[in-house]
Structure 1
Amino acid sequence: MQDHNDEKTYRIGEVAELLNLKTHVLRFWETEFPQLAPLRTGKGQRLYTEEHVGLLRRIQQLLHEQGMTIEGARRVLQGSAVLDESLPERVAAVPDPDFMRMLKRELTAVRRLLSNE
């Protein structure tokens, strides 16, 4: 194991706050994404590097913003240790109210059409 003393690390609570996630979500993602393996202190505390935080942001984007399944996100990440940093980073995926109203009208119309068949 290489020496990570010169690399900035974050505790799980800090990462959770940084990404606006719950710590149990981060622990769950560790079990689902093999490339996410935080360092451990002698007492077993998780320490995340900048690379881990970038990977977590990418996972969050795939799952929460793009609506992918865990399996789909896992496939996107497999075989590629390089994250695409050119993707726009959004703080939160907030739907546009006008778009949501239009979508609701369209879905209601489709349901009406289907119920008449």
Structure 2
Amino acid sequence: MGNSLPYIPAKRYFTIGEVAELCGVKPHVLRYWEQEFTQLRPMKRRGNRRYYQHHEVLMIRRIRDLLYDQGFTISGARNKLQELVQGERDKRRNGEVLLDGMESIGDDDLSFDRLEDVVVLDSDDAASVHLQSVRRELFEIRDLLSEVL
């Protein structure tokens, strides 16, 4: 993924304009991708205003990388994301994953920056949703602490 994308601030929700700037795409592209990628479901409030969460911003960056940097078609990117989702489901079933991304990181090189880049693609079960929520809060705390220090 290109290094030109800005840092994602520690916020709970992002507007479509903010996400467009963070991901380097136009808002109409984001609305189109919502139709093409079923994993992308921002919360909608009154007036159909979209609010994206941190993991959705990461997913959009992954989609952007697949389409723009790796040259996938929409269909190919959709299939690649589906493969990733299925792989995560299989790992969970086999008990290989405690937290998304942890299986590929050893104790010696544990880095929150690397964990932040992990995209959560499947949030069907309640435990996974809870862990994702805790993970997001930890990142927010880390970012707040880094501002103070």
Q: TM-score, normalised by structure 1?
A: 0.62
Which of the residues 66, 70, 77 maps onto 2:70? Answer: 66
Q: Give the match's secondary structure for 1:74.
A: helix
Runs of 4+ in structure 1 over 3 Å off: 81-86
Q: Aligned partner of 2:77: which letter?
A: A
Q: Does 1:21 align with 2:25?
A: yes
Q: In 1, Cα distance between the equivalents of 2:81 and 2:33?
A: 13
Q: In 1, Cα distance between the equivalents of 2:38 and 2:24?
A: 22
Higher helix share: 2
Q: In 1, Cα distance between the equivalents of 2:74 and 2:80?
A: 10
Q: How many residues align?
A: 80
Q: In 1, Cα distance between the equivalents of 2:53 and 2:30?
A: 14
Q: Does 1:37 align with 2:45?
A: no
Give the alignment's Cα RMSD to 1 decimal: 2.1
Q: Aligned partner of 1:26: which letter?
A: L
Structure with bigger gyration radius:
1
Q: Give the match's secondary structure for 2:25.
A: coil
**Which ranges of structure 1 fall in alignment gaps of 5 or more residues?**
1-6, 87-117
- % identity of equivalent residues: 45
Q: Which has the higher contact order (CA 8 A, sep 6+)?
A: 2
Q: Equivalences for 1:1-117 in 2 at 5 Å?
A: 8-79=12-83, 80=85, 85=117
